[in-house]
Structure 1
Amino acid sequence: MNPSRIRLDATRQHWQHGPIDLILSADGEPHALHAAYEACWSRFVDVLPELVGELKQLRQAVRAEATLDECPLQGRIARRMWTACQPHSACFITPMAAVAGSVADELIGAFAREGIARAYINNGGDIALHLTEGCRYRIGVLADLAHYRPVPASGDPTPGLALDANLTLDASLPVRGIATSGWRGRSFSLGIADSVTVLARNAASADAAATMIANAVNLDHAGIARCPASSLKDDTDLGDRLVTVDVPSLPAPLIDFALARGVEAARPLLERGLIESAALFLQGRVRTAGLHDTGALLTHRAHTTTEAPCSKYAAC
């Protein structure tokens, strides 16, 4: 399959190459936008072949004792993936945990040029941002497709969907990457979170951290269905590890217990500066770590508690 690109409207484009599926948007001067998109496209067409060339190594676990100087990979994106996952290598993790965020990070660099005010690249929900002084983006968080309900187009930043949370990120904040993981997503999860959304300084770091925190939102319960990842996808990097395929309705105490385990996993990542904040969603309830103003961030639909209110971004 050859790479393809389609203009969706005046500011957005859709690019695809095999499993890589991107929405790109940018605002700026016309000549700068044209140059940025062409530079980005020139890089994009080589991304998939580059990753395929090192796919066997990318599916290998990052060794816990390996240092950043010992990265065995050669490609720029592959090394970015490995570097984002290395801080989590005390547990099982492969560089594939950061593939979507790393691709977005690599491509957003094309927009860091004179004449571009802001840009984003959304790689299946993992987002890299470029923001210049005075610019911002409003981000919507959708925790669980199974619970979406129609809303008036004028009542929500995403017409037709009820957001679980929304936030505003501006250029003064350190966040340039957003990623989400959970058992209901497009990738496998060892945990039971409907979703975990992480904000970090880049999308690769957010991607790896979201994977690990979502894995930690977990408990033993007879009704939770798990299968070997290899039985669902023969080329998975998870091998025979059990991944979640169904979660029954759980009583509130068990939901809170599972979410608390996720928060416990997120807290040291905040302390080490690996992430800026996280929101953990499970069956209509949410726990947050690192959020400054949870009440403003989260809609009334979810029961909310806050941990480690240390970040400085404004939420709306």
Structure 2
Amino acid sequence: MIPPTARLLPDGRRLHLQHGPIDLVVEAIGRRPSPPPQGEGDRAKRGGGGCPRNPVDGPPPPGFAWSPSPSGGGDADLAVREAYRAATARFATILDELCTELPLLKRPVDGTACRLQGRVARRMHHAVLPFAVDGFITPMAAVAGAVAEEVLLAMTGAADLARASVNNGGDIALYLAEGEEVRIGLVNRPDRPRLAGTATIRFGDPVRGIATSGWRGRSFSLGIADAVTILARTAAEADAAATIVANAVDLPGHPAVTRVPAREVQADSDLGGLLVTCDVGRLSPADIRSALAAGLAKAEALIARGLIEAAALNVQGQMLSTVATNFHRQRHAEEVGEAGRLEARTTGGACFETRTSGPLLSMAPDGDGKGSRSMAA
């Protein structure tokens, strides 16, 4: 097997980690040091060593291949360097750990005792367990979010950071220090990413995980949503919930929807013979509203159970979202524009916004297809 790789992206500040199907874009921002005491400035400037240009300079963990660092960067922050090295070291074995328990990870969760041993595998199981009452689900529904969480925990355990994110193909684990906030770019179609809105997450909000699912994404879906984006406490929980809500955005038996058994598309799929959506023809406005309403009902039920904080649902250019504001949850839906696009608007708290300016964390894939754009707010 090709060994895991680690390289800085051309912007010189984000780290790209890749191993088999796992593809992460990692970003860390170190805390700004306090100004030195009066009279200590010159000594601080002369003090030993700054960081090398590349935050991941130095010998890599065994089996890793470094790409050369980009030229022209200034000295990297020490905390960022340590965070990236910790992320790289932890990432090195994650895929192998998951592969050793893959048969169990592909079995439906039924409420019996967890037999998984690995830390990431157990996180996957516990993330999907609350959703087992909603129907068929396996730990694989939380794999991307659980991996992102694991790498983020390695980073925050190794360095004093202001903000950090691990983006696993649009499933994002976040860390925010006190006083920090971040804005997340939302896309309405993963295969043709276009900014459809943003979500602002602040230190005091309960959201630290974002995930997107839908039939146009890289994973299978039983529903017809182009994209469902979930905000939740953790990335693994958001990942699992996005699967459930995307499955609920549906028009059972509709002639415009083409479905095939999952095993016919991917022989080793954990979904087996379940019918997954492979094409959706043009739908009428009434059909779109019906599908969105079904998904919204599921999302609001998950909010009521305390499993997610907010959800944004997209079908053929129309969006409907729930809103979580300062722990008082409410729904706002209004038709705007000539196309009758459905969207929600709020102020305060962890919320979805319809307009954006300035830098943000985006779920859209990079132009080379490797990872996702991620710009610090």
TM-score interval (norm. to shorter): 0.7 to 0.9
**For residues 232 and 324 of structure 2, what CA distance do their matches in structure 1 show?**
12
Q: Corresponding residue for 2:212?
A: 180
- Greater Cα radius of gyration, structure 1 or 2: 2
Q: Answer yes or no: is the 8 Å Cα contact 1:198–1:278 preserved in 2.
A: yes
Q: Answer yes or no: is the 8 Å Cα contact 2:288–2:315 preserved in 1.
A: yes
Letter in 1 for 2:182: Y
**CA offsets, 1:231-263, max 9 Å, x none?**
010110000111000001100111110111101
More helix, by proportion: 1
Q: Corresponding residue for 1:46?
A: 93
Pairing 1:157-172 to 2, within 5 Å after superposition: 162-172=194-204
Counterpart of 1:255 (choices 288, 293, 305) is 288
* SS of equivalent to 1:290: strand
Q: Answer yes or no: is the 8 Å Cα contact 1:37–1:110 preserved in 2.
A: no
**CA offsets, 1:3-54, max 9 Å, x none?**
0011012320111000000000111152222221111211110100000000
**For residues 56 and 311 of structure 1, what CA distance do their matches in structure 2 show?**
44
**CA offsets, 1:86-135, max 9 Å, x none?**
00112100000000000001110123255311010000110000111121
Instruction: State, as a whole percentage, how many aligned pairs show the same letter.
Output: 48
Q: Corresponding residue for 1:129?
A: 174
Letter in 2 for 1:303: R
Pairing 1:1-316 to 2, within 5 Å after superposition: 1-8=2-9, 9-28=11-30, 30-63=77-110, 65-66=111-112, 70-90=113-133, 91-113=135-157, 115-145=160-190, 162-219=194-251, 220-292=253-325, 303-306=341-344, 312-313=349-350, 315=353
**For residues 247 and 300 of structure 2, what CA distance do their matches in structure 1 show?**
14
Letter in 1 for 2:295: G
* SS of equivalent to 1:164: strand
Alpha-carbon RMSD: 2.4
Deviation at 1:312, TM superposition (A): 2.5
**For residues 181 and 285 of structure 2, what CA distance do their matches in structure 1 show?**
36
Change in Cα spacing, 1:28 to 1:203, as seen in structure 2 (3 Å) is same
* SS of equivalent to 2:259: strand
Q: Answer yes or no: is the 8 Å Cα contact 1:2–1:17 preserved in 2.
A: yes
Q: Corresponding residue for 2:70?
A: none
Q: Return the TM-score normalized by structure 1.
A: 0.88
Deviation at 1:299, TM superposition (A): 9.8
Q: Mean alpha-carbon deviation: is it higher for 12-21 or for 109-118?
A: 109-118
Deviation at 1:313, TM superposition (A): 2.0
* SS of equivalent to 1:288: strand
* SS of equivalent to 1:89: helix
* SS of equivalent to 1:121: strand
Change in Cα spacing, 1:222 to 1:244, as seen in structure 2 (3 Å) is same
Deviation at 1:291, TM superposition (A): 4.4
Deviation at 1:304, TM superposition (A): 1.9
Letter in 1 for 2:20: G
Letter in 1 for 2:305: R
**For residues 140 and 304 of structure 1, what CA distance do their matches in structure 2 show?**
18
* SS of equivalent to 1:197: strand
Deviation at 1:145, TM superposition (A): 5.0
**For residues 136 and 331 of structure 2, what CA distance do their matches in structure 1 show?**
31
Q: Answer yes or no: is the 8 Å Cα contact 1:108–1:128 preserved in 2.
A: yes
Q: Answer yes or no: is the 8 Å Cα contact 2:228–2:313 preserved in 1.
A: yes
Unaligned runs of 5+ residues in structure 1 are 149-161
* SS of equivalent to 1:190: coil
State how many pairs are aligned: 297
